[in-house]
């Protein structure tokens, strides 16, 4: 009898899966596989082969997290927060340094980047704080500061790795969710004002030389054409040279002739733009907007506050990554290393993206 009931519950969850949502995800994944293949053709498609593995593992992760009742994350919020801090601290003890940054932990068969998962962990724990302790809104300086301390430790640990891009994601999540929770605007805007005043201090005393170089390059990419400005200039050339319809799949010269660095990760959008042109780029952006709007609608239709905050937080993460990464490619944002989720090559990025999307499906399954 119990087995029959479990099967019926599982079938109800399967019926709640929106085929358009799944298609949206896997069209993006198909584009990712195609252009990671194009970007790694000179390296015998090694990244493409690995990405097939990430896709299969990501699908399993999606299914697992879609079947877990998301409300359990609120129940174990303190455990998740402690795990988050523990993983970020472990980078300083057993982490390995790649390209001057100590962000990865080697598991032998793959390396994971705890700062990637810190974003969704923070959404899960901060949403619980807002939904329960501040259910009537965040009032006054004291409560805003208490909320700020919730992100301060992970923010500082990630900033020190150094990983400026992910640190900025945490700040964006904080302001997005606290604003959605009916916050007193005067202390919030005062905090923003203090942050703006703090920017020059951070620039001169906290940022690494290469991070300052990225900001200088953003302001004037031609200042150091053969140094820090090379990536941005080559990316802009690749993006602009595609024209309306592009040069054709596998025929992008900037990528093919190795003018475009990190083409399979940071600048995957530039590879697609060069080969599929403005039309292909527009379709990609529409796919992302459709996905983000879908996640927002899941949040809007959710009856409990916790699910609503989690859904909006996940939508915010996708929006920030897409905006910053594409902005990097076309020269309107500084290079921060944020991947284009579901497109850029990377095991941690793929697992993290599928985990978030699985949680969105869980909210749809269990919220009502």
- Which tokens is 13 given? 């969850």
- 195 occurs within a structural domain: yes
Q: How many domains does the chain have?
A: 1
- Using an 8 Å Cβ cutoff, are 231 and 347 in contact? no
In three-state secondary structure terms, 245 is coil
- 276 occurs within a structural domain: yes
**pLDDT at residue number 225:** 67
CA distance 156 to 145: 16
CA distance 228 to 226: 7
- 59 occurs within a structural domain: yes
- 10 occurs within a structural domain: no
106 has which bridge partners?
A: 111
Report which of 44, 17, 49 is spatially closest to residue 33, judged by C-alpha positions: 49
- Which tokens is 55 given? 């896709």
**pLDDT at residue number 133:** 86
Give every residue of the chain whose pLDDT is below 50, as ranges: none
Report which of 291, 261, 263 is spatially closest to residue 275, judged by C-alpha positions: 263
Backbone angles phi, psi at 153, to 5 degrees: -65, -55
Angle at 147 between CA 175 and CA 294, to 5 degrees: 40
- 14 occurs within a structural domain: no
Report which of 261, 231, 209, 204 is spatially closest to residue 334, judged by C-alpha positions: 231
Q: Is the peptide bond before 98 cis (omega within 30 degrees of 0)?
A: no
Backbone angles phi, psi at 257, to 5 degrees: -90, 10
- 18 occurs within a structural domain: no
- 3 occurs within a structural domain: no
Residues spanned by the domain of 203: 28-366
**pLDDT at residue number 307:** 96
Question: Could you count the other beta carbons within 10 Å of the beta carbon of residue 83?
Answer: 15
- 12 occurs within a structural domain: no
How is residue 183 annotated by DSSP?
B
- Which tokens is 291 given? 């996905």
In three-state secondary structure terms, 139 is coil
pLDDT digits (tens, 9 = 90+) for 81-108: 999 999 999 998 887 776 666 777 877 7
């Amino acid at each position: 009898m119990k087995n029959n009931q479990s099967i019926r519950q599982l079938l109800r969850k399967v019926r709640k899966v929106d085929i358009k949502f799944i298609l949206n995800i896997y069209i993006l994944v198909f584009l990712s596989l195609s252009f990671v293949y194009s970007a790694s053709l000179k390296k015998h498609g090694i990244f493409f082969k690995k990405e097939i593995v990430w896709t299969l593992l990501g699908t399993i992760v999606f299914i697992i997290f879609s079947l877990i009742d998301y409300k359990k994350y609120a129940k174990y919020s303190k455990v998740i927060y402690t795990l988050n801090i523990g993983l970020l601290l472990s980078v300083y003890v057993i982490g390995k340094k790649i390209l001057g940054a100590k962000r990865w932990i080697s598991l032998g068969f793959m390396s994971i980047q705890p700062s990637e998962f810190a974003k969704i962990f923070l959404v899960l724990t901060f949403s619980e704080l807002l939904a329960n302790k501040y259910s009537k809104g965040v009032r006054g300086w004291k409560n805003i500061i208490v909320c700020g301390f919730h992100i301060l430790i992970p923010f500082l640990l990630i900033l020190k790795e150094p990983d400026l891009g992910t640190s900025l994601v945490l700040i964006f999540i904080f302001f997005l969710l606290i604003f959605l929770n009916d916050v007193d605007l005067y202390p919030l805007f005062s905090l923003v004002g203090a942050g703006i005043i703090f920017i020059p201090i951070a620039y001169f005393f906290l940022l690494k030389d290469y991070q300052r170089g990225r900001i200088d390059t953003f302001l004037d990419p031609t200042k150091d054409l053969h140094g820090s400005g090379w990536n941005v200039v080559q990316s802009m050339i690749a993006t602009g040279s595609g024209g309306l319809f592009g040069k054709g799949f596998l025929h992008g010269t900037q990528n093919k002739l190795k003018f475009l660095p990190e083409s399979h990760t940071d600048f995957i959008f530039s590879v697609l733009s060069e080969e599929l042109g403005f039309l292909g780029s527009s379709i990609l952006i529409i796919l992302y907007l459709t996905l983000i709007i879908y996640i927002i609608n899941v949040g809007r239709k959710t009856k409990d506050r916790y699910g609503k905050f989690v859904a909006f937080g996940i939508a915010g993460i996708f929006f920030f990554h897409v905006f910053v990464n594409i902005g990097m490619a076309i020269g309107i944002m500084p290079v921060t290393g944020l991947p284009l989720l579901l497109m850029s090559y990377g095991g941690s990025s793929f697992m993290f993206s599928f985990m978030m999307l699985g949680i969105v499906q869980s909210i749809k399954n269990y919220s009502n």
